[in-house]
Structure 1
Amino acid sequence: MSDTHLEKRYFQTPSGAIAYWISDNVCPEQPWIVFLPGLTADHRLFGRQVSNFAKSMNLLVWDAPSHGQSRPFALNWSLDDKALWLKEILDNERVSNPVLVGQSMGGYVSQAFMDLFPCVAKGFVSIDSCPLQRSYYQGWELWSLKHTKAMFMAFPWKMLVDLGSKGNATSSYGQELMREMMQDYDKCEYCELSAHGFKVLAQAVETNRAYEPDCPVLLICGEEDGAGSAKRYNREWSKRKGIPIHWIEGAGHNSNTDKPNAVNSLLDEFVKSLS
């Protein structure tokens, strides 16, 4: 990311080091956007957003623990652990009033963050993510999330990469990017990471936290998002909370890679509305 005015840094934890990239020339007058990629994806997921906003906003994007360049990292973290480490990183970097932009698992991390640290986030953008509250989920869905490793391991690696790339993105760019990110792992590491991520998500939902976002929220979802029940959850989320959904035509689960211009336009409009 050297051409996007970001500097790579590390945050040390007892379980390993977290890699993140931050604007190398912070402008106090500009808003902060914090990009949080989804499960098994890394900072490259937001490449088209970083290149678009690098000069007009202060940015931070991480490789979540056990992801990408945040390895080796022990698979012993919870969703709240990730939120706590994120808060420490933001505090260390003096990031104030951040807009949290979370794709899929990154959206859950954002919600855990807002639950643990109310009145810190200035805004929250959910990209193909879902609500964290227990009332949205059926018991069998949570059970399934905690028992995924055998299913992943049953697929040959080549087939799993093919399914993961095509299942998450509709565009050639998005599919190739997902393929590249997946192939940075070997099969066993990928399956263990995926299984752990889904398990801690289910456990976080089961805590039945009562939080409500205390900042403006933007819901973005690809019209072709086929990951789990993301579209159903988003419709219910919108209905219950009265938050409009912006459906991205022709986009899959990684809608910000499939239709970056459409997503970037929504992000720009949302961030400007908060000033």
Structure 2
Amino acid sequence: MTEKIFHTKLGDIHYRIGKSSGDRLWLAFLPGLTADFHLFDKQIEYFEGRYNCFVWDAPAHGSSRPFKLEFYMDELTAYLHDIFQREGIEKPFLAGQSMGGYIAQAYIKRFPGTVRGFVSIDSAPLSRSYFSGWELALLKHAYWMYRCIPWEWLVKLGSTGTAQSEYGRGLMERTMREYTPKEYCKLADHGYRLLSLAAQAHGDWEPDCPVLLLCGEKDGAGSSKRYNRRWTKRTGFPLIWLKRAGHNSNTDVPDEVNRLIETFMKENTA
């Protein structure tokens, strides 16, 4: 994968892109809040060479730092669209984990007809009607809740609470330690605030492309399992529960997730 940089007035966005071929489909990976591109290492390892692959460090994440926390969902989707146009990425499949899934939904709404399919990995619906008022309000006040937790404890909670496998937990711990405690808490707070505002603005719109929902049976992050049950019931989107997997299920059971993504892509390439 070749690392490239997209310049914005708030900072530089770093992304990785494989050597593309005109006869292969595009698969774009969008990591979750505070995670960087390494979250999808096992997917890139499998899919690179089979498909044209893209993965980014979202603004203020990983190598896309420093980056002013003055962006919201509209800016994120605009940045992503501009990068796709720059690289000639047309009709991609989007695979978004957690916050990456929310970004994917906002992108699909803003740029209808430009996405071939969407795989939600331990994410949830962005539509406003799924959220209660108190949930949206609570999302806007996460900073001091995070700051009151001792850093070493927070790192342990962040790694063991998101992954079940030794690999997944180690990856998340290494990622968290790339941030200072204050930087990490500010980024998490900004991300939750961004999500709250995006849900309020999203309305009751659902993706207009094929969708596959993946969720770890041991996902303990927020209310992901509850949201996914409601999501599949309301829309009919297929939902697959992943055994032995937590919130970062693509790091816990990568082979199974890779197989499911590839099957979904093959079924929706017409």
- Please tell me whether residue 132 in structure 1 is matched to residue 123 in structure 2: no
Q: Which amino acid aligns with 2:42?
A: R
- Does residue 98 in structure 1 map to residue 88 in structure 2? no
Choose from 59, 62, 67 the match for 1:65: 59
Indicate which of 234, 241, 248 corresponds to 1:240.
234
Question: Once the 2 structures are TM-superposed, how far is the Cα of residue 212 of structure 1 from its aligned partner?
Answer: 2.4
Distance 2:202 2:243 in 1: 33
Is 2:169 the counterpart of 1:175?
Answer: yes
Question: Is 2:47 the counterpart of 1:13?
Answer: no
Q: Aligned ranges for residues 1-275 of structure 1 at < 5 Å?
A: 6-23=1-18, 25-275=19-269
Post-superposition offset of 1:140: 0.7
Task: Quote how far apart the aligned CAs of 1:211 are.
Answer: 2.6
Runs of 5+ unmatched residues, structure 2: none
Partner AA of 1:36 in structure 2: L
Question: Structure 1, residues 27-70: CA drift from partner, whole Å, max 9, x if none?
Answer: 11111000000000000000000000111000000000000000
The number of equivalent residue pairs is: 269
Aligned equivalents of 1:247, 1:213: Cα separation in 2 = 21
Alignment partners' CA distance in 2, 1:115 and 1:84: 12
Q: Deviations over 1:68-119 (max 9, x none)?
A: 0000100011012111100000000000110010000000000110111000
- Give the alignment's TM-score, normalised by structure 1: 0.97
Q: Secondary structure at the match of 1:12?
A: strand
Alpha-carbon offset, residue 209 of structure 1: 2.6
Q: 1:210: how far off?
A: 3.9
Listed as ranges, the gaps of 5+ residues in structure 1 are 1-5
Residues in 2 aligned to 1:110 and 1:210: alpha-carbon distance in whole angstroms:
15
SS in structure 1 at match of 2:197: helix
SS at match of 1:76: coil
Q: Secondary structure at the match of 2:213?
A: strand
C-alpha distance in 1 between matches for 2:143 and 2:197: 16
- For residues 142 and 157 of structure 1, the distance between their equivalents in structure 2, rounded to whole angstroms, comes to 26
Distance in 1 of aligned mates of 2:220 and 2:160: 10
Calculate percent identity across the aligned residue pairs: 50
CA RMSD, 1 decimal:
0.7
Q: TM-score, normalised by structure 2?
A: 0.99
Contact 1:80 1:109 in 2 (8 A): no
